[in-house]
Amino acid sequence: MKKWTAFVDGAARGNPGPAGIGIHIEDEEGNIAREIGEPLGRTTNNVAEYSALLRALEEAVRLDIQHLTVYTDSELMAHQVNGKYAVKAAHLQPMHKRAHVLMSSIEKVSVVHVPREQNKRADALSNIGADKVI
């Protein structure tokens, strides 16, 4: 089974403020399947982080990816998705639930927290998205 990797990030200029998502998806040979840097409008950093995760999972389902590791520099989101932290913010609960629905469509998926330095491409794409005017 082919192993895929997704790097995701959300950015907000202010909290809330103009926000964007960044997603980089590649296969095990390093072939890029998707690179996305899109604006979200005005929202919070946590909503931007979850939006990036959801979009990456949606793309993975579209691509029929069955083995995916998602890397994020959002410790909060990674720990919430993995069940280590509770999702106390009511506005994030539907996003959290949607992530699990999408994850259940993928045979093997994991969400891993990494330092920001290991998430540079997704960070750059999220900043491109946050800088776009919609």
Angle at 33 between CA 119 and CA 78, to 5 degrees: 35
Q: In the numeric block, which tokens belong to residue 83?
A: 């069940």
Question: How many structural domains does the chain have?
Answer: 1
Is there a contact between 10 and 44 (Cβ–Cβ < 8 Å)?
no
For residue 92, the 8-state DSSP code is T
CATH of the domain at 102: 3.30.420.10
* pLDDT attached to residue 34: 97
Q: Taking the complete model, does pTM exceed 0.95, yes or no?
A: yes
Tens of pLDDT, residue by residue over 92-127, are: 999 999 999 999 999 999 999 999 999 999 999 999
* pLDDT attached to residue 107: 98
SS3 content of the chain, % helix, strand, coil (to 5): 40, 35, 30
Range of the domain at 89: 4-131
